[in-house]
């Protein structure tokens, strides 16, 4: 009989705890939702890099291509210099 009452007590206590946790979760969700809405309302994108790829696509892609070609040229000429040094050592 004591086991039954203990089990009923634990179940009712756990149900109360679940209700309390659920209420805390809803309150926290409501609070963070309001903060997020306030942040979204005042935020305006001002990135010039993003504008290059959305408004001036040619300049954005041309700039990206020129950066890629420059990096490739640096690697190419560096490897050529290393190969020349290896040939001089032999």
Count H helices, E strands: the chain?
3, 0
CB atoms within 10 A of CB 51: 13
Q: What is the DSSP letter of 43?
A: -
46-85 pLDDT per residue, tens? 667 677 777 778 888 888 899 999 999 999 999 999 999 9
Q: Are 14 and 22 in contact (CB under 8 A)?
A: no
29-45 pLDDT per residue, tens? 776 666 555 555 566 66
**pLDDT at position 40:** 58
d(CA 16, CA 6): 15
Q: What is the DSSP letter of 90?
A: -
- Entry pTM: 0.44
């Amino acid at each position: 009989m004591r086991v039954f009452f203990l089990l009923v007590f634990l179940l009712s206590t756990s149900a109360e705890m679940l209700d309390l946790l659920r209420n805390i979760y809803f309150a926290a969700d409501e609070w963070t939702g309001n903060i997020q809405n306030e942040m979204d309302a005042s935020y305006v994108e001002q990135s010039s890099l993003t504008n290059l790829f959305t408004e001036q696509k040619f300049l954005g892609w041309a700039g990206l291509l020129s950066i890629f070609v420059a990096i490739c040229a640096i690697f190419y000429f560096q490897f050529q210099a290393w190969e020349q040094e290896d040939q001089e050592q032999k």
